[in-house]
Amino acid sequence: MGEATVRLFVEEGANVLIGDVLDEAGRELAAELGNTAAYMHLDVTRKADWDHAVDAAGKLGDLTILVNNAAILLQKSIVDTTEEDFMAVIRVNQLGVFLGIQAVFECLKVNGGGSIINISSIDGLQSKNSLAAYSSSKWAVRGLTKTAALEMGKYRIRVNSVHPGGIYTAMHGADFISQEQADTFYNDHALPRVGLPREVATLTTFLASDEASYSTGSEFVADGGWSAGLVNTSLPQL
């Protein structure tokens, strides 16, 4: 999903710094995109890495946008989730967003404002069994988003959260199941198919743009209707 976002930002004319711990994939993407993108190793749980990233981004132009996309998934029952398991998810999914917002604030303020987009999840609006750590972190991103929006709005910095549903990425199993197989999980959804990374990227790009100039502190959902409910085939249908 991060890769799709980078590609769309570049298409729209942005210079992008890609930060990740997947160094080989990150370097390959930056090399493919040419002078409009650069890559650096970024462990989102380390403040020093964030500080270096902000410095590197400044070499590409005025820093005005941050997309907090990094996340890990853990599926375990509450009683089987260890303290170490829980905190590993919290550190990446929640602390990483917090440190990212902190790191970019002064630059965005000096540059006259900007947009911070925090990628949460449908599981930041509801939850499922086995997602004690993941869902906790994604709900926390919602709250952090609202606090940041309230504190930073006077500096023309907008902060919003994006809540994807099932998206066909490695986290969803794209490395070992086909898109058609993934679609079958969503037969009872309003849009009966898996979502695609670019469909989230388009929403993120909108929130980064001036077209979303009066939107802050809000949740934006791209879930194929998941949060609307499920289609009950035993009831009348169109």
Catalytic residues: 134
Helix 96-110 to helix 47-58 angle, to the nearest 10 degrees? Answer: 30
Q: For residues 223 and 209, give the distance between their C-alpha atoms in angstroms, rounded to a whole number.
A: 21
Q: For residues 74 and 134, give the distance between their C-alpha atoms in angstroms, rounded to a whole number.
A: 6
Instruction: Give the H/E segment covering residue 37.
Output: strand 37-41
Contact 93, 138 (CB under 8 A): yes
What does the angle CA 118 – CA 10 – CA 15 come to, to the nearest 5 degrees? 80
Structure tokens at 37: 């993108």
- Tell me the CA distances in angstroms from 62 to 14, 56, 237, one per residue in order: 11, 11, 52
